[in-house]
Chain A
Amino acid sequence: MKENHIIDVLENRSFASLSESERARIQAHATNCSSCARAYEATKVASSLLRERALEAVEPSPFFHTRVMAALRERQNEVPAFKRLWQAAGALVSSMTATVALLAVLSFVVPGTQTSATAQASESNGYSAEEVILNQNDLQDEQASDAQVLTTLYPAEEAAAK
């Protein structure tokens, strides 16, 4: 049995799966080969370590399933961070859109309403803003003839006073 062959045997299969006759052959070779003896001993120790480690096991606590169910509910209720950001951005965009729309309404629709209201008022008064401006002179004439109006309205009293 060559040295490499023994190492191959040790590496191909787990130490525990080697039969008694295989171990005896390896040991027989190892007595005359120090490298194989080291490999054999190290493999044996490694196997013992792994098997001792395999004996250890942690058991679940009685509250484990309660904790899992609580964590599950928490995760289900949890809104993902991206979704939260998207919702916040959505609210911001909505409020900005509403503001722009309101400003647009105030800028274009409300002045139009005022114009029509003014026009209605002018119609009821019987004159328009343009007429008022254009007839400034007429207005001055009217103001100048106030004394005449008084005389016309109360001629008898005027005459008696005189």
Chain B
Amino acid sequence: MKARITIWLTVAIVASLPLAAQAQQLFDFLGQADLPDGVGDALTLHGVVVDPAPAATPVPLDFADFEYTLVVTDLLLDVDGSPQQYSGGTLVLYEDASTAADHADPSTFTDGTAVLVGAITFLERTMFTATLGTVSGSVDWTGGAMVGLIAPQDLDGWLFFSGVNAREEQVEPGNDEVWDGKVEPHDPIVENAIMNWGELKRRF
């Protein structure tokens, strides 16, 4: 009898598995932006993330029990003009069950758990009129309580899109513009699956 040596490998394998086509995925937000005073100054954004149903969030969020906020800080204006070019900012998605977000108190947007933390690698803001514009940029996820739910190969290059409106009827005191936008992967992602070697072999 051929000696059989069975080696059990229990390895946590991080893999993205092909699943059935998924609904569109995005973090949809509505926020208020405080623009920089000039080159070298920073833009900040405080927004509330809403349930995008029937679209889905890229990682599971519990809108029934938590409020989610999205905050951008330290986004530096590199080039002024049209478009403006920014870099170096941090984007954080917070989960909080205690305080309702209130633009009169920015701290209500940064309490709770940081579920995703990202680096904004670049961002452009283009104004088409004095009050209407668009923003497009890119985010790499670098941390947060839920970053492990995203496969490593899916962490980088998420898209940051937003419409921009500077009409005074729109803007909260202390801010310059309303941003209505989203953060999304290029394509829907699957939740990071952790499995042992035997399971992985059976799948293939």
Partners in one complex: no
- The interface of chain A, by Cβ under 8 A from chain B, is none
